[in-house]
Amino acid sequence: MDHVAILRKAKISKGDNLLGDILAGTKTIESRWYVNKTAPWDKVHIGDTVYFKESGCPVTAKANVAKVLQYENWDARKIEQIIKQYGNQIAPATPLDDFLEWGRALINKKYCILVFLDNVEKIEPFEIDKTGYGISSAWLVVEDITKLQKFV
């Protein structure tokens, strides 16, 4: 299965460069925090391929899924535990105290997915067609990435 993860710059702190950190090998976990069970919940598995793009930009990187952890119905203590254990792999440029502060706002969320990345590589950029996925979808699940590629 293929996936497209759409990243925003400065997701956790102003200095974040999440795509750059993925390509540099310092961000080895992509995390998603949700109120509802939405993609990629129960849809991403070991061996899948995740393609990455920043919002408004083409796809420029891909990685294999090495491991997936899912958490649900947590409390503030569990959020803190996840951030302390995995924070440096999720947002390596963000100081722990800033990440913990960001995490306090997650108490209304109920689901966390950690996707561990392996074999990251920069790829020839390509655009995608998100038709049918919703304008604000930040994670797309597709059987084959070529079904989303736009050819110009």
Each residue's pLDDT tens digit, 96-147: 999 999 999 988 999 999 999 999 999 999 999 998 888 788 999 999 999 9
Q: Kindly list the distances between the CA atom of residue 24 and the CA atoms of 21, 80, 105, 122, 124, in Å, as whole numbers in the listed order.
A: 5, 26, 28, 10, 17
- Residue 80 predicted with pLDDT over 60: yes
Interaxial angle between packed helices 96-104 and 76-90, expressed in degrees from 0 to 180 and rounded to the nearest 10: 140
Indicate the SS3 state at residue 104. Answer: helix
Average pLDDT over residues 82-99: 94
What pLDDT shows up at residue 43? 97
Residue 36 lies in a domain: yes
- Residue 152 predicted with pLDDT over 70: no
Other Cβ atoms within 10 Å of 104 Cβ, number: 11
What pLDDT shows up at residue 74? 84
Residue type, 98: D
What is the 3-class SS of 36-61, one letter each residue? CCCCCCCCCCCCCEEEEEECCCCEEE
Query: Residue 55: which domain range?
Result: 2-147
Q: Confidence band (pLDDT; 50, 70, 90) for 12?
A: low
Residue 152 lies in a domain: no
What pLDDT shows up at residue 11? 61
- Cis status, amide bond into 40, omega within 30 of 0: yes
CATH number at residue 60: 2.30.130.30
Each residue's pLDDT tens digit, 24-73: 999 999 999 999 999 999 999 999 999 999 998 999 999 999 999 999 98
Number of domains in the chain: 1
